[in-house]
Amino acid sequence: MTRLLEVENLQVRYGPVRAVDGVSFGVERGRTLGLVGESGCGKSTTGYAILQLVQPTAGRVLYDGTDLCRLDKPALRRMRRKLQIIFQDSHASLNPRMPIGDLIGEALDIHGLSRGAARARRIRELLDLVGLAGHLIERYPHELSGGQAQRVAICRALAVEPELIVCDEPVSALDVSIQAQIVNLLQDLQQRLGLAYIFISHDLSVVRHMSDQIAVMYLGKIIELAGKAEIYAAPAHPYTKSLMSAVPVPDPDIEAQRQRIILKGDLPDPAHPPSGCRFRTRCPIAIADCAATDPAEYALAAGHWAKCIRLAEGMPEWKSPPTTSTSF
């Protein structure tokens, strides 16, 4: 498959804080990249920088060969038809003074996609596409449940016929049963419309269900990237291992035998990150060289790399906690 998006050495700084520090990855057409990590690691900022909602400090964001960072405002506005976002808090992202029909129709108006009767017909088609009844067209956001509001947010993103959607924690604010419905809806839409997703979440079970590739972030950097099967079966970086050990397993016998890897200490101050490997202050197998060397990518297999100098020298054996797939 050809890559729809290429992110190269992306950096975002807020004064001394390196919120995103040299992030690189690609997203193929019709596929999903999961972006995971602790709160504050730079996941959402990475998504916003890709869409130019936050101005990158350095790096390139190549969408179908075009560097979005170099576009002027009119060109970027035209390009935004192809890239959309679904925010975590759907109610906060919907204008409370506008009925649902106008919220969806606004996107059609801005890009001149349809007018009059065709506009009304298109709005109803979009509502049906996300499983909402046509009578909701006159409702206001405060009259909707959380699941309905998130479907409207998805509907609005689809209105301009995008090719890539950044999903920024799209289900974390919803009840578990509603989460499953939204995740299944996103997957169905991907298959029907050929969409590519960047799926940002801290919920590893949901990410596993959604993603084809997974990138693990820590303090502004991607420290491991691999296909879904590889990263869950054989996580390589100590931080990734600790994350995977926290994924619940729906089997009490396996759960009782699992090895939990508990990290000590707090996340370092992003304005003053540790020297060398940023994870070293919490890493149970750190050595003196970890403070002196910013680890490079170490290839473990095709499409699977991690940044850890212990991998290059032969890391002490870790017991990978057994995992099973989570169904929705």
In the structure, what pLDDT confidence band is assigned to residue 250 with cuts at 50, 70 and 90? Answer: low
Position 84 in a domain: no
Closest of 261, 241, 262, 246 to residue 310, by C-alpha: 241
State the average pLDDT over residues 239-267: 74
Contact present, 132 and 155 (Cβ < 8 Å): yes
Q: 201-214: per-residue pLDDT in tens?
A: 988 889 999 999 99
Q: 177-187: per-residue pLDDT in tens?
A: 899 999 999 99
- In the chain, the amino acid numbered 182 is I
Position 59 in a domain: no
- What are the distances in angstroms from CA 1 to CA 27, 166, 168? 10, 20, 24
Residue 251 is predicted with a pLDDT of: 58
Position 242 in a domain: yes
Q: 37-93: per-residue pLDDT in tens?
A: 988 899 999 999 999 999 999 999 999 999 999 999 999 989 989 999 999 888 888
User: How many angstroms separate the CA atoms of 74 and 276, rounded?
Assistant: 41
Position 215 in a domain: no
How many CA atoms lie less than 13 Å away from 18 in the CB half-sphere? Answer: 16
Domain count, the chain: 2
Closest of 221, 216, 310 to residue 274, by C-alpha: 221
Position 247 in a domain: yes
Position 192 in a domain: no
Position 106 in a domain: yes
In the structure, what pLDDT confidence band is assigned to residue 114 with cuts at 50, 70 and 90? Answer: confident
In the structure, what pLDDT confidence band is assigned to residue 266 with cuts at 50, 70 and 90? Answer: confident
What is the span of the domain harbouring residue 118? Answer: 96-161
Residue 243: pLDDT above 50? yes
Residue 253 is predicted with a pLDDT of: 61
- Written as six digits, the tokens of 308 are 């850890």
What value does the mean pLDDT of the chain take? 89
Residue 194 is predicted with a pLDDT of: 96
In the structure, what pLDDT confidence band is assigned to residue 319 with cuts at 50, 70 and 90? Answer: very low
Burial class (CB in 10 A: 0-12, 13-18, 19+), 186: buried
Residue 173 is predicted with a pLDDT of: 78
Residue 315: pLDDT above 80? no
Position 301 in a domain: yes
Tell me the percentage of the chain whose pLDDT exceeds 90: 70
Contact present, 132 and 152 (Cβ < 8 Å): yes
**Which has the minimum average pLDDT: 113-127, 235-249, 279-293?**
235-249
Q: Which residue stretches of the chain are H helix?
A: 43-50, 73-79, 90-93, 100-110, 116-129, 146-158, 176-193, 204-210, 228-233, 238-245, 252-257, 289-292, 309-313
In the structure, what pLDDT confidence band is assigned to residue 224 with cuts at 50, 70 and 90? Answer: very high
In the structure, what pLDDT confidence band is assigned to residue 325 with cuts at 50, 70 and 90? Answer: very low
State the average pLDDT over residues 281-301: 91
- Show which of 131, 161, 191 is a domain's final residue: 161
Phi-psi domain of 40 (left: phi exceeds 0; alpha: psi -120 through 50; beta: other): left
The single residue listed with the structure tokens 């972006």 is 35
Contact present, 320 and 254 (Cβ < 8 Å): no
Residue 222 is predicted with a pLDDT of: 97
Residue 89 is predicted with a pLDDT of: 85
Closest of 301, 224, 214 to residue 32, by C-alpha: 214
Residue 106 is predicted with a pLDDT of: 92
Tell me the percentage of the chain whose pLDDT exceeds 70: 91
Residue count of the chain, please give it: 328
In the structure, what pLDDT confidence band is assigned to residue 300 with cuts at 50, 70 and 90? Answer: very high
- Show which of 161, 178, 212 is a domain's final residue: 161
- Show which of 127, 146, 161 is a domain's final residue: 161
Global pTM reads: 0.90
Residue 314 is predicted with a pLDDT of: 63
